[in-house]
Amino acid sequence: MAATFLAFGAAVREAGLSAGWALLACWGIYGMPGQLVLVQAAAAGWAGGVGAVVIGAVAVNARFLPMAVSLAPVLAHGPRGRLLPAVPFIAVTPWAAAMRALPGVERADRLPWFLGFGLTSWIVAGGAALAGFFLAGALGQEARAALLFVNPLYYALLLAADLDRPAPRRAVLCGAAAASLALILPASIALLAAGIVGGTAAFLLGRRRAAG
């Protein structure tokens, strides 16, 4: 995660934006695809308007919604309002760690655990983004590209850690099968369509298995 945010900080400086902008984008969005949408839009002079950019950032970070839906029952303990402080920290790293660790934690201790882990991840991400911003001159174009590629590799490793469980295994296999759609569909919708098809297939297979 830190390597990915190093690359993001370098990308912000390359776009001619400030260190404060890097930190605000990092902590305000805390989702690399949405952050990159903003950087690209800012570097292009906000072509198409700020509204279109915001919609694009929301769309690419829409994965946070199913994460929140799946995490809420795990964290639930007492009034629902207690969960509100957890909202800014729902991202891939805290979510994956929480879904793996929290079933073994006492229910009353789950929300403090998540807040502590999420805040730590949030701080590390901001610090790495600032480091990347100030070290940008020392990183070549190839190095920055390699660091950004760490992001999908990082997601793949998080998923691989849970392949011994049926639900993640279904998701990975269905997603890998649906990825072939990206070869035949227009680039503007290919990944989104593949994700919807693969995710829906995994969900339906899970429902069928539960019913059987």
Position 48 scores a pLDDT of 65
Do residues 174 and 201 make contact, with C-beta atoms less than 8 angstroms apart?
yes
Q: With helix as H, strand as E and coil as C, how does 44-108 read? A: CCCCCCHHHHHHHHHHHCCCHHHHHHHHHHHHCCCCHHHHHHHHHHCCHHHHHHHHHHHHHCCHH
Q: Crossing angle of helices 141-160/92-101, nearest 10°?
A: 20
- Among residues 138, 195, 151, 140, the alpha carbon closest in space to that of 172 is found at 195
Write out the two tokens for 32: 């690399």
Is the whole-model pTM more than 0.85?
Answer: no
- Count how many residues are written for the chain: 212
Distance of CA 106 to the CA centre of its chain: 26
pLDDT (tens place) for every residue of the chain, 212 residues total: 888 888 888 888 888 888 888 888 888 888 887 888 888 887 777 766 777 778 877 887 888 888 899 899 999 888 888 899 998 888 888 888 898 899 899 999 999 999 999 999 999 999 999 998 888 777 777 777 777 677 777 777 777 777 787 877 888 888 889 888 888 888 777 877 888 898 899 889 888 887 76
- pLDDT for residue 186: 85
